Amino acid sequence: MNKPFTTVSQVFPREWLHADDIRSRSPLTVAVERAQIEDRFNPRSKREEPNLIVYFHKAQRHLICNKTQAFALAEATGTEIFANWAGHMVQLSHGIAPNRKPTIVISAAPVAPKPAPADEQDADDADMDPVTAGDFD
């Protein structure tokens, strides 16, 4: 049996990623699946216009990039060629735009420190208190 809908958002889910979607999980590190140009209807101009859309791995919602976000993605990935963004890890954070509206701020994902070589790690573990050594695994 299907689970009954209890909210309007469940009945009419949004396709596009909004700043409020990541507010409670900000910053959020994600992998870019692909980025491509897609035509979307612009209600202001009343015509189809090209937009840069970014898809993230295992995400249901996609990001319609504005100019600031597109250049931030280019900087975070090290290339302006958006076809090459696939596989790059980026960080999405909730922010406030100059117009005082919520926005998604994009930056490079933090780089995890490389593990120490095995012989150095063993020497470091020898100096640790055996009671707390397991807390760092």
Q: Does residue 109 fall inside a structural domain?
A: yes
Residue 131 pLDDT greater than 90, yes or no: no
Whether 73 maps to a domain, the answer reads yes
Domain of 108, CATH number, reads 2.40.50
Q: Determine the Cα–Cα distance for residues 89 and 91; give it in Å rounded to an integer.
A: 7
What residues make up the domain containing 84?
13-136
Is 94 within a domain? yes
Give the pLDDT confidence of 2-37 residue by residue, as tens digits: 777 788 877 877 889 989 888 888 799 999 999 999
Work out the number of other CB atoms within 10 angstroms of the CB of residue 7: 8
Could you tell me how many helices (H) and strands (E) the chain has, helices first? 5, 5
Measured distance CA(31)–CA(87) in Å, rounded = 6
Asked whether residue 3 is assigned to any structural domain, the reply reads no
pTM over 0.75, yes/no: no
Distance CA(37)–CA(2), nearest Å, equals 36
Number of folded domains that form the chain:
1
β-strand partners of 107: 91
